[in-house]
Amino acid sequence: MAHRWTNTLSDTDVTPEAAFLNRRQMIAGVAAGVGLSLTARSAQAETEAEALTPNSWDDITTYNNYYEFGTDKGDPARNARTLTVSPWSVTIDGLVDRPGDYAFDEIMAKMTIEERLYRFRCVEAWSMVVPWNGFELADLLDLAGVQSEAKYVAFETVLRPDEMPGVRYPVLDWPYVEGLRLDEALHPLTIMATGIYGRDIPNQNGAPLRLVVPWKYGFKSIKSVVRITLTDKEPPTSWNKANAREYGFYSNVNPEVDHPRWSQATERQIGGGLFSPRVPTLMFNGYADEVAGLYAGMDLKKNF
């Protein structure tokens, strides 16, 4: 089973949005946001965590990328209402002991829902702080039983042309696919999000179930997942297929490795106003203490 944070919450304990925005009332949930237990945080990490202030509901739900519903930032909020999210199931197959179609309600009944406050960094050099609700991906994989030969986890987004106007255009090779190395998938920071601010996750943000990997660029956190496949080979990923020179398989946030068309050294914080100053981007999006060991000995410029 996945590691449990000392401040694990049930879905009935989710902090209301108004309270979440009050920093004094955020302290209990903030440890999960930086990926540290309450008993293990250093003073520096605690100070950094308490400085995180989540973006508003409107910021998070009206400024995002979901190209199946259009390529402008506001398109998903306008168009994603057409997506049917109930009933929903996720096919888990490949190198697992118990392959099959897992109903969303069945999954939720078996998962421990937690509140996680995470930084979110887009490859386009903008960022947010998002209060997710969800469960560790490792626990979902436990349901299916990962076999010893498995080395990677592949993900697939739902494809419904009649509900997704953006797929009429060959922006990408649909359906959208993504992948992680198995140790990345099993890391306790990696979650499957089902909500924001204690509410069901909106369609435009990837309802009803999306991946969240906070140390990677946002496009790795695939939305509206309908298939998870355990495999022994590195799976194809949509943006890497579209342009391997610009989008590597790992896509870890790294201020020292620029995108070929722009710098990744700084970022624009959404919600800070039109003329807010850019801020330095943190290695692994601020989660280096937790995840840098996954890449020990790797050339992060080659394996970008």
* Residue numbers belonging to the annotated binding site for Mo-molybdopterin: 64, 67-68, 122, 157, 205, 210, 221-223
Q: What are the binding residues?
A: 64, 67-68, 122, 157, 205, 210, 221-223
Residue in the structure block whose two tokens are 């903008």: 126
| Of 112, 138, 147, the residue nearest 2 (C-alpha) | 138
Position 10, amino acid: S
| Side-chain half-sphere exposure of 226, counting CA atoms within 13 A | 11
Give bridge partners of residue 55 from the DSSP assignment.
Answer: none
Q: What is the Cα–Cα distance from 30 to 48, expressed in whole angstroms? A: 10
DSSP letters spanning 177-230: EEEEEHHHHHSTT-EEEEEETTEEPPGGGTTT-EEE-TTB-GGGS--SEEEEEE
Residue 62, C-beta contacts closer than 8 angstroms, at least 6 positions apart: 73, 74, 77, 204
